[in-house]
Amino acid sequence: MAASNRVRIGGGEWRSRLLDFPDVPGLRPTPDRVRQTLFNWLGQDMHGRRCLDLFAGTGVMGFEALSRGAHEVVLVEKASAAVKAMQQNQRLLKLNRRAYCNKMPCSFSRPTPNPLM
């Protein structure tokens, strides 16, 4: 994985920590300002909470929740390269049993039209 793409954790224990992520078509990390606003709504203290990050991409939302004290986070992403990068970042942050990085087992597509309807 090229280390050319990085995203910063904006708050909590790992504030300002940079995480690497790969070039994956359509992968766009959630901007710092959006994450800051979200955590302002949710509350800065995430202690004891369990979080689910579907379509995790870089995983930064989930890692930031853990940085702010969440008990555990489940990260789900369809791109194998992104899942691998999240797993590497999980090891880097020593999150053995607090973060669970999963590859989405299916794709979401528009259903085929039913000719009988």
pTM for this predicted structure:
0.83
Give the dihedral sign, CA 43/49/53/54: negative
The mean pLDDT value for 4-18 works out to 91
To the nearest whole number, what is the mean pLDDT of the chain?
Answer: 87
- 55: exposed, middle or buried (Cβ count in 10 Å: 0-12, 13-18, 19+): middle
Length of the chain: 117
Q: What is the pLDDT of residue 2?
A: 47
CATH, range 6-103: 3.40.50.150
**pLDDT tens, 53-65?**
999 999 999 999 9
Q: Which residue has the higher pLDDT, 107 or 51?
A: 51
Q: Which residue has the higher pLDDT, 91 or 42?
A: 91
